Amino acid sequence: MTDFDEQALVAQAQADPQVFGALYDRYFDRIYGFIRRRVHDQKTAEDLTAATFEAALRKIGRFQWRGGGFGAWLYRIARNKITSHHRKARWLVPLSALLNGQRQAIKRASFTDHFELSDQLTKGLAALRLADQEIIALRFFEGLSSDELTLVLGCSKDNVYLRLHRALKRLRAYLDEAEQDLEANNDQE
């Protein structure tokens, strides 16, 4: 489906909500996968996916086509839902629940849990700030274009590149350091 086709489909869905089903079919797996890789359990992923598509259906009448397209818009909604979920979970777990050993309930899913990466890369990514992890995951693992990222992250394209550059630089630094440590250990042996 081309951008033009999708644009037409979105326009139809704005007039007739039943057409939304086609957009749902097109994006469900990507959005669900995106969410599922960011939360720990299936039920939460399902809730957030449902909330994402419900919000999209509710607001589609006000959606206006932009460079990133409908998919990026969905990603942005999903991202907001995930962020909100993590924030609430982090701040609002009852003390009693934590004291009863339910601490894992608020542990954040790693961005790298569902990707086949080398051990070093996994460790390197895990050592990054969450914002760095996120932009790397969105760009390279979820495959979002820079145009889509501008919409999802709500920043300019220059800013996307700047953030990507910084994130990669930090990751590179970690990997270089790890490599040096490894070499030093090998020399000692």
Partner 1 sequence: MTKNEIRHWGQRLEAGQSKEPLLALAGSLAQSRVNSVQADKEFKTGLRARLLNTATPKASSRALAPIAMGLAVIAALWLALRVPQPASAAELLDRANVAYASYMQSGGILHTEFVLSTFEGRPQELHGESWLAGDEGSSRVELRDSRGRLVYFAQRNGETLWRSMHDLPIEAPIEALYRLGQDEYELARDLYQQLHPGLEWPPFFGDLAQWIELDTWFSEQAVACQDLYCLLGIDKDMEWDCQDKFCTLPLLETEVLLTPLELVAQFLGTEKLANGQEVYVVELGTNLIEGKLREMKFATDDFSLVEVTAYSTNHPHPIARLRVTVREQLPVNALSFDNTPSSLQIIDWAGQRDLLQVPLGMTNGSLFTPLHVLALEMPGWVEIRFHLEEGSPPSGSQISGSQEIVVSVNLDPPLPEDAELVIQLCASSPQLDYLFTFTRNCFALGGIQLPVATNQQSVETSFQVNVTEEWPEHISLMIGMESSEFEKIYVITDVFWTTQP
Q: Which residues in 115-174 contact partner 1 (CB under 8 A)?
A: 115-117, 121, 129-131, 136, 139-143, 146, 154-158, 160-162, 164-165, 168-169, 171-172
Phi-psi region of 74 (alpha: psi -120 to 50; beta: other; left: phi over 0): alpha
In the complex, minimum distance from the CB of residue 1 to partner 1, in angstroms, rounded to a whole number: 18
- The CA-CA-CA angle for residues 29, 75, 24, to 5°, reads 40
Closest approach of Cβ 8 to partner 1, in Å? 18
Q: Which of 9, 12, 26, 28 binds partner 1 (CB under 8 A)?
A: 28
Question: Dmax of the chain from CA atoms?
Answer: 71
Q: Does 11 bind partner 1 (CB under 8 A)?
A: no
Contact between residue 128 and residue 89 where contact means Cβ atoms under 8 Å apart: no
- The reply on whether position 33 binds partner 1 by CB under 8 A is yes
Q: Which of residues 47-106 bind partner 1 (CB under 8 A)?
A: 47, 49-51, 53-55, 57-59, 62-64, 66, 73, 76, 80, 83-85, 87-96, 98-99, 103, 106
103 or 184: whose CB is closer to partner 1? 103
Q: How far is CA 51 from CA 72, 78, 79, 143, in A?
A: 16, 8, 11, 23
- Judged on CB neighbours under 10 Å (0-12, 13-18, 19+), 166 is middle
Q: Does 178 bind partner 1 (CB under 8 A)?
A: no
Rg (CA), the chain: 19
User: Would you give the DSSP letter of residue 41?
Assistant: S
Q: How far is the CB of 188 from partner 1 (least distance, A)?
A: 27
Q: How far is the CB of 27 from partner 1 (least distance, A)?
A: 12
Nearer to partner 1 by C-beta: 171 or 187?
171
